Structures are given as C-alpha cells and as structure tokens.
A and B are shown apart, each in its own frame.
Chain A
C-alpha cells in the first residue's frame, strides 16, 4: 500500500479564496483523522470519521471549515473563505479500529497551506 496520500503537498492562496485539501486513507482502514499543526498550537485534532461517518468535529475551529468523507477511500477538508491564520500544515491520518483491533494512526505527508 502507498500509505496515506494527501494532495496538494503545498498550497498558497489569497485570503478569501476557497481551499480544498484531499486525502486517500490506507485501504482497509476504517478511521480517518484530520489534524492541523502549527508551532504555537502543536498537533490539533480537527475531526475524525469512523466508517465514513463524522464522529467528533468539536475541533473544527469555525464554520469556515468543513469536512466530508463520501466513501471509504476519500475525504476532503474545505476552508471557505480562507484567512491568513489558517496557515498551517494539515495532516490526514488513518487507522484500523474496532473490537480488539486497534492499529496506530498512519500519517500522510501533510499539506502545507499558506494564506496570504
């Protein structure tokens, strides 16, 4: 498996524009996580899905952020409109959970977002 795949790797956009980050989890994993990492706040959990269903989105900073998981192999994180304070590295991670099974979270390489 190629691991968790995120795109784009880098995104530079102007304030007010819509930004869409994409993630393909590891095949067979049933949990997917979106994290945001900054120097000031570290690694923050934004939202996680289990079996394509959003379980906890309490980490989503505000209504400008939304996430979807239309199927088991794809998720998006959208920011509309974007603001300079959204600049960060956004990581997607996936894991296999359920019953006695519980793997570690495998991370994608991240999307470095810069909003100017």
Chain B
C-alpha cells in the first residue's frame, strides 16, 4: 500500500526562522513527489520533484528529493507570518494515476 509520512506534524516558529519539513514515502512505480501549501481553502501547488539531488527553488522555498532513501525535504528560509499553513506532501505512483497525500505539517509562524 502506498504511504506518505510527514514530520513534524506541527511546528511553531518565529518570523525570520528557517524551517525544514520532512516527507518520507513508499509507493509502487514512483513517478513524482509534490509539495502543496494549504491555507484556508484548497491545496495550492508548490513543487514537483522527479529526480534525485536536483533542488527546486521558488523565492524563500526550496525542496529536494532523495529517491534512494525515499524522502524529500521542504525548506523555508526567513519565515513570514504568511507562511503559516499546512504543507502537504504527495507522491504519484502507479504509472502516474494516483496521488497519495501525507497528513501534512501544520506550520505556525508567530510575529
């Protein structure tokens, strides 16, 4: 059974801190790993990772994948209160037809 585990489940930091969110997975026929940010409504897409060792970067956010050890990390530097959200990790397997989500990490950034 495909599985995604995220840690920590909850994290409270202050503005300006750097955070690292973790995602490990087991999936049949791995295709890609995705990170989403969910605030009050629907999840919004951040990154898609398909190859090991290649960092994806968008502003203060970056992510990298290790397909040998079956994990990914999402880094957020110089956090802001607007980064407060649930960050979801999802893996795509089974020939690209199935998205399985982890439980999410709830990040709270205090002013």
Which chain A residues have a beta carbon within 8 Å of chain B's beta carbons? Answer: 31, 33, 35, 42-43, 45, 48, 50, 55-56, 91, 93, 95, 97-98, 101-102, 104-110
CA distance A110 to B44 in the complex (A): 13
Complex-state Cα separation, A105 to B32, whole angstroms:
12
* In the complex, B16 has a CB within 8 A of chain A: no
With A48-B97, A48-B99 known, 12 other A-B pairs at CB within 8 A are A31-B96, A31-B97, A56-B94, A97-B95, A97-B96, A102-B92, A104-B45, A104-B48, A105-B34, A105-B45, A107-B42, A110-B41
Per a CB cutoff under 8 Å, which of B43, B88, B90, B97 touches A55? B97
Residue contact B98 to A107, C-beta cutoff 8 Å: no
Interface residues of chain B, those whose CB is within 8 Å of chain A, are 31-32, 34, 41-45, 48, 50, 88, 90, 92, 94-104
Given A45-B99, A110-B41, A102:B31 Cβ within 8 A: yes
**How far apart sit A95 and B99, CA to CA, in the bound complex (Å)?**
10
Contact B42 A110 (CB under 8 A): yes
Min CB–CB distance A59 → chain B (angstroms): 10
13 contacts between A and B (CB under 8 A): A31-B97, A33-B99, A35-B101, A42-B103, A42-B104, A45-B99, A95-B99, A102-B50, A104-B34, A105-B45, A105-B90, A109-B42, A110-B41
Contacts of B42 in A (CB 8 A): 91, 107-110
Query: Given the complex of chains A and B, what is the CA–CA distance between A106 and B36 in angstroms?
Result: 10
CB distance from A27 to the nearest CB of B (A): 18
Bound-complex Cα distance A93 to B88 (A): 15
7 closest residue pairs by CB, A with B: A107-B42, A97-B96, A42-B103, A43-B101, A102-B96, A104-B45, A50-B97
Q: Which A residue's beta carbon lies closest to that of B44?
A: A107
Determine the distance from Cα of A80 to Cα of B45 in the docked complex, in whole angstroms: 33
Measured CB to CB, the closest approach of chain B to A18, in angstroms, equals 25
Bound: A101/B50 CA distance, A: 12
A45, B96: Cβ atoms closer than 8 Å: no
Nearest B residue to A96 via CB reads B96
What is the CA–CA distance of A48 and B103 in the complex, to the nearest angstrom? 19
